[in-house]
């Protein structure tokens, strides 16, 4: 069953700068090698998970058939960074289903076509080698998976942009979102002061450490 995210929380997350959340959170950030393959994207969505024990395209197709509006398909390749489970057809099908993105702890293919389709896709890189129509029956759908070193629960909030990927639960998001939005609102004034030549210690209100003082 697809869990519904609180609409007001989604709107707030869409408004915040994701790197700002990194000032207030320490956990849930995927390995930095998982990067946007389609540039200039920002994603707020709900995790639908798939773990592949073998490079099985049929399992991927079955997962795609379950996607609905707002989903982010998160694929755990079980350490396989050679076979690409996502390409032109996969991304087009996900977009047509209303998915927000696909995130692969592994590689993808058809990079040019992925960019043309426009669905945000995140992965460790690209490969010519792809999954096969095995129908092995050993995939796990909508169970906890590992993606970029983070254990991801089905229904988790997914935040992803050109800087990286963050998985978190609604409670954690609600705890930090107002602080993060306030930080975003304050940043333009801080930048303006720095650009005007004001000293960093005055802008950020800190004292220089004695050991860092120049003789």
Q: What is the pLDDT of residues 160-181, one digit of tens each?
A: 999 999 999 999 999 999 999 9
> What values do phi and psi take at 17, rounded to 5?
-80, 120
Complete domains list, the chain, with CATH:
7-174 (3.50.30.40)
Token pair belonging to 201:
């210690």
Record the pTM: 0.93
> What values do phi and psi take at 20, rounded to 5?
-60, -35
The number of beta carbons lying within 10 Å of the beta carbon of residue 154 is 18
pLDDT of residue 154: 98
Q: What is the rounded CA–CA span in Å between residue 181 and residue 17?
A: 8
Whether residue 208 has pLDDT greater than 80: no
**Residue 41: DSSP 8-state:** -
- Scan for tokens 């700002």, then name that residue: 20
Annotated binding residue 105: no
Using DSSP, state whether 186 is helix, strand or coil.
Answer: helix
Q: What is the pLDDT of residues 31-89, one digit of tens each?
A: 999 999 999 999 999 999 999 999 999 999 999 999 999 999 999 999 999 999 999 99
Q: What is the pLDDT of residues 189-203, one digit of tens each?
A: 999 999 999 999 999
On average, the pLDDT of the chain sits at 96
Report percent pLDDT > 90 for the chain: 93
Q: How far is CA 70 from the centre of its chain?
A: 13
> Could you tell me the pLDDT band of residue 1, with boundaries at 50, 70 and 90?
low
pLDDT of residue 139: 98
Higher pLDDT, 16 or 4: 16
Report percent pLDDT > 70 for the chain: 95
Whether residue 215 has pLDDT greater than 50: no
């Amino acid at each position: 069953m697809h869990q519904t995210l609180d609409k007001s929380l989604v709107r707030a997350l869409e408004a915040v700068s994701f790197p700002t959340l990194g000032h207030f959170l320490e956990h849930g950030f995927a390995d930095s090698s998982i990067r946007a393959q389609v540039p200039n994207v920002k994603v707020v969505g709900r995790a639908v998970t798939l773990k592949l024990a073998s490079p099985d395209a049929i399992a991927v197709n079955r997962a795609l058939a379950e996607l609905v509006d707002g989903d982010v398909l998160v694929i755990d390749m079980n350490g396989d960074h050679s076979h690409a489970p996502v390409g032109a057809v996969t991304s087009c099908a996900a977009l047509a289903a209303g998915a927000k993105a696909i995130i692969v702890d592994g590689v993808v293919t058809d990079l040019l076509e992925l960019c043309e389709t426009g669905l945000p896709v995140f992965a460790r890189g690209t490969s010519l080698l792809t999954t096969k129509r095995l129908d092995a029956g050993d995939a796990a759908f909508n169970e906890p998976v590992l993606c970029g070193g983070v254990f991801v629960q089905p229904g988790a909030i997914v935040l992803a942009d050109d800087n990286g990927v963050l998985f978190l639960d609604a409670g954690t998001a609600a705890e930090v979102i107002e602080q993060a939005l306030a930080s975003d609102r304050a940043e333009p004034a801080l930048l303006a002061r720095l650009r005007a030549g004001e000293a960093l210690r005055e802008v950020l209100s800190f004292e220089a450490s004695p050991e860092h003082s120049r003789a």
